[in-house]
Structure 1
Amino acid sequence: MAEAILQVSGLVKHYPLTQGILFKKQVGAVKAVDGVDFELARGETLGIVGESGCGKSTVAKMLVNLEKPTAGEIRYKGDDIGKLSGKALRSVRRNIQMVFQDPYTSLNPRMTVGDIIGEPYEIHPEVAPKGDRRQKVQELLDVVGLNPEYINRYPHQFSGGQRQRIGIARGLALRPEIIVADEPVSALDVSVQAQVINLMDRLQSEFELSYIFIAHDLSIVRHISDRVGVMYLGRIVETGKDAEIYDHATHPYTQALLSAVPVPDPEARERRERIILAGDVPSPTNIPSGCRFRTRCWKAQERCALEVPLLAVPAEFRDVSGPAAHDSACHFAEETVVVPAEETDADGNGNGNGPG
């Protein structure tokens, strides 16, 4: 594995719940993120998938310091971001940029495209002197496939795909090493999704970028990611290389997600095992004891309520080599073929949404 430039350990974000007006008293907490660990290597793309509300976007905001962690560490090249301030923090934030989910609301409608893309230069003037900024903005527009002459237009004059390209150009302005993409194509049509994904793929090679790619579309995540982490209720429950997760999943939740991916072949669709989860996702204010997935899991036993499963290679796979020997937080992990590998939509052209 290449050098790890981002290391996340024990990451927690709890939002307090209070009662009272004059004398506020904390009566609980929303456990949006409750112990997340992962590493990102130089030039790698780590995909994070899961249902809505599982904490994906909260993790993204903490990585770029838009939210302060309740506990845990985010280390960029060995430095704990949470302990930095002033010039040191600005330097780190320059190297970790974000592409937001909604390409319209993330762009100021009162600013021209030139001002939006060039705004990072106002905060980091050492990157581009004032006299060179217009030219650099035009170069960025050209890099993301837009006409440099559009520099004086406003966001409402562009389509959704073009607006997302503007957001990507803004993210590239400071030549970062890491881009955190929070569902960057979920608001776009399928054909436009493919254009944006291919653009990000090309830019990764051209600018030597590392991506944290957050989405709920499993086929798109597989197309762009080197490794995948599956989140459920604030924690990563399974992680591994893309083929390990998609073709050799061992966690029941991952298997349920994969069973919900649309299969274009009618015959394969009839043969696949469809897994329907019972009940609703538990409230993040009242997380079940032990394994947090046990209330919806068909494999749940007494041990699941008493013991929190560790995110590690399951015991039955530790002495064997193969794609099933990857980290999975389940006491009764086993490999189940939900959709045969050759029939899985792996090229990113489908619209494989998991539940939620």
Structure 2
Amino acid sequence: MTADGEAILEVRDLVKHYPLTRGVLFRKQVGAVRAVDGVSFDLRRGETLGVVGESGCGKSTVARLLVHLERPTAGRIRYKGEDVTRLSGRALKAVRRNIQMVFQDPYTSLNPRMTVGDIVGEPFEIHPEAAPKGSRRQRVRELLDVVGLNPEHVNRYPHQFSGGQRQRIGIARGLALRPEVIVADEPVSALDVSVQAQVINLMEKLQDAFELSYVFIAHDLSVVRHISDRVAVMYLGRFAEAGTDAEIYEHPTHPYTQALLSAVPVPDPAARERRERILLAGDIPSPADPPSGCRFRTRCWKAQEKCALEVPPLEVPERFRAAGGPAAHVSACHFAEERPVVPVAGPGGTGGG
């Protein structure tokens, strides 16, 4: 589906800090884990925004904030112009109907004591206005058929299905209320490679059929490129670079993005021999004590004194503004420059990080 330019979801300066406390009787906050620390983006109608990064960078926290499973410490999330962060009660319930989530683990996200019919039909119990009581069973069967499962298996339990089938059940549950936005938190990371491709193709088909917008979160760069219209690369609670899939994968300007792309397996032996592997020094710093200035500087081969003193803004680098072209996309680096990276493989490879 092609995005039409209208922003259905607007996120501005989103922050989520988890307090670190000390003491038993008298608890005192001594710090905070900065899981998300100033994330901004727009999601247009019919678009897929892919969010990639290493484990622990804050991707899943962003997902939970978008569906309001957690309240942000600061920032705004606007759905169709309405500030979701200020809503509660019935108003919040109405918005939640339109923003649903597909979880990472198809094994733990389904209640083993409930039948598939009850799992997929549960949203109708919470939002009874979405379907008349007499038609819910038929709606559940239709949803199972849409995601490629046998409607006759409506009375089976989750343990009677494979991992890929369970994730299809989770997708059917997410579709039950006919949402406009689906936040998919690493929906294929726990699946076999062949099953990953099937689920990704299913999600693309459903996007057209149900007019969906996706926030697709993953660490697998190959999968994200296959499904995404735009890609945002996240590092330690912030976006490091963002642009279209071609801009990010073929013309990366941030050192972190270049390092991630160099780590993706390449199926062509000749290309594998030619490519230059970028090895990062050290581990990801603690989100409880991130580096000053640029958060990537402690692992970056281009870091200079300026990187420790100034936070690089997420904007089009000055050197690319006049010339334009695919390199002229936002990148949070003081010394952003293009670097040739071997193109990633098709869907089914393993991501960097």
Maintained 8 Å contact 1:48/1:212 = yes
Q: Which residue of 2 aligns with 1:70?
A: 73
Amino acid at match of 1:138: R
Amino acid at match of 1:354: G
Partners of 1:321 and 1:279 in 2: CA distance: 34
Partners of 1:227 and 1:322 in 2: CA distance: 16
Amino acid at match of 1:144: V
Amino acid at match of 1:26: Q
Give the 5 Å matches for 1:26-45.
Answer: 26-45=29-48
Q: Which residue of 2 aligns with 1:354?
A: 352
Q: Name which of 270, 287, 290 aligns with 1:287.
A: 290
Give the 5 Å matches for 1:169-318.
Answer: 169-318=172-321
Q: 1:191-238: CA deviations, max 9, x gaps?
A: 000000000000000000000000001000000000000000000010
Partners of 2:239 and 2:189 in 1: CA distance: 21
TM-score (norm 2): 0.98
| CA drift at 1:96 | 0.1
TM-score (norm 1): 0.98
Partners of 2:85 and 2:211 in 1: CA distance: 25
| CA drift at 1:270 | 1.1
| CA drift at 1:51 | 0.1
SS at match of 1:175: coil
| CA drift at 1:352 | 2.9
Unpaired runs of at least 5, structure 2: none
Maintained 8 Å contact 1:260/1:352 = no
| CA drift at 1:113 | 0.3
Q: Identity of aligned pairs, percent?
A: 79
Q: Name which of 131, 134, 139 aligns with 2:134.
A: 131
Partners of 2:201 and 2:66 in 1: CA distance: 24
Structure 1 stretches of 4+ moved >4 Å: none
Say whether 1:87 aligns with 2:90.
yes
Amino acid at match of 1:56: K
Give the 5 Å matches for 1:304-343.
Answer: 304-339=307-342, 341=343
Partners of 2:88 and 2:293 in 1: CA distance: 37
SS at match of 2:56: coil
Q: 1:268-309: CA deviations, max 9, x gaps?
A: 111111000001100001100000000000000000000000
Q: 1:16-51: CA deviations, max 9, x gaps?
A: 000000100000000000000000000000000000
SS at match of 2:17: strand
Partners of 2:192 and 2:335 in 1: CA distance: 39
Partners of 1:41 and 1:273 in 2: CA distance: 36
Maintained 8 Å contact 1:113/1:152 = yes
Unpaired runs of at least 5, structure 1: none
Amino acid at match of 2:39: V
Q: Which residue of 2 aligns with 1:20?
A: 23
Partners of 1:352 and 1:247 in 2: CA distance: 18
Partners of 2:5 and 2:151 in 1: CA distance: 36
SS at match of 2:129: coil
Amino acid at match of 1:243: A
Q: 1:320-353: CA deviations, max 9, x gaps?
A: 12100000000000000111x4xx31x31x3131
